[in-house]
Amino acid sequence: MIIRKTAAELEKMRRSGLLVFTVLKKLGDMVEEGVSTYDLEVAADRMIADAGARPAFKGYFVPAAGERYKYVLCTSVNSEIVHGMPSPKRILKKGDIVSIDTGVQLDGYFGDSAITVGVGELSEETKRLLQVTRDSLELAIQQARSGNRLFDVCGTVERHVVSNGFSVVREYVGHGIGTQLHEEPQIPNYVDRKNENPRLKEGMVLAIEPMVNAGKADAKVLGDKWTAVTKDGSNSAHFEHCVAVTSNGPWVLTRP
Ligand code: MF3
Ligand code: CO
């Protein structure tokens, strides 16, 4: 069942969303050569605590990993797709890209968003990877409208990515969000005709999160049980927003 939120609930989700935005904005500004992914973790932990919120990922049980996640952030560098773990040893260098993904729970409701940021000057191909991934999210957000169907969102990401010569990751998907970090429906970044294709309705909130590889789609998980990487070693980008379906169209909760 896809849970629909009342206007009052959406206002609460808005507060969570804006906190996540503020955190990611600050972390994005911190990214430069010599900064470690753990420096980002420490800053995020402090900001979320200062706001009176709870970090949504820390302690979150992921069945595929078989354990609870230990950090506030997922920091996935270059060929890492998602669930990269912050480490003082992972020092960013020029030409790297880092996906920073975080979530919070505030007054019972979750917010979840991700950005991918470059360190210094990027190659033309990597700049294009970030732009195509960002654009695929913006186009998908525009599909989050009452009367459309879930596949309109999924297919919009897939078409934009594939037509630009990149590939979408299949093992990790977006999700509904509310009083749980992950609610129905699952939101793949591709159309799978075997899945249900519900009609979108006012009050639904979708966490749309394209994960896009510069090379092939294939992913594998490293021995740490968490870090997902591209099999071919190509770079991967990730952007995410929470979007409410409203009578006024899509409302992106995780940005001003
Ligand atoms: N990146 C996932 C999402 O955006 C959540 C992270 S799973 C966790 O839905 F284990 F890190 F919490
Ligand atoms: Co998410």
Residue 1 is assigned to a structural domain of this protein: no
Dihedral (C-alpha) 149, 151, 154, 160: value to the nearest 10 degrees?
-100
pLDDT band of residue 208 (cuts 50, 70, 90) is very high
Q: Going by CA atoms, what residue is nearest to atom 6 of ligand 1?
A: 57
Handedness of CA 55, 59, 64, 65 (dihedral sign): positive
What's the pLDDT score for residue 62? 97
Q: How many domains does the chain have?
A: 1
What's the pLDDT score for residue 79? 99
Q: Tens of pLDDT along 90-122?
A: 999 999 999 999 999 999 999 999 999 999 999
Residue 126 is assigned to a structural domain of this protein: yes
Structural domain of residue 143, as residue ranges? 7-252
The answer to pTM > 0.75 is yes
Residue 2 is assigned to a structural domain of this protein: no
Q: Tens of pLDDT along 57-100?
A: 999 999 999 999 999 999 999 999 999 999 999 999 999 999 99
- Which DSSP letter does residue 135 get? H
Residue 110 is assigned to a structural domain of this protein: yes
Question: Is the CB of 80 inside a 6 Å radius of any atom of ligand 1?
Answer: no
CATH number of the domain bearing residue 164:
3.90.230.10
User: What is the pLDDT averaged over residues 128-151?
Assistant: 98
Indicate which atom in ligand 1 lies nearest the CA of residue 61.
Answer: 10
What's the pLDDT score for residue 107? 98
Question: Is the CB of 101 inside a 6 Å radius of any atom of ligand 1?
Answer: yes
Indicate which atom in ligand 1 lies nearest the CA of residue 74.
Answer: 11
pLDDT band of residue 34 (cuts 50, 70, 90) is very high
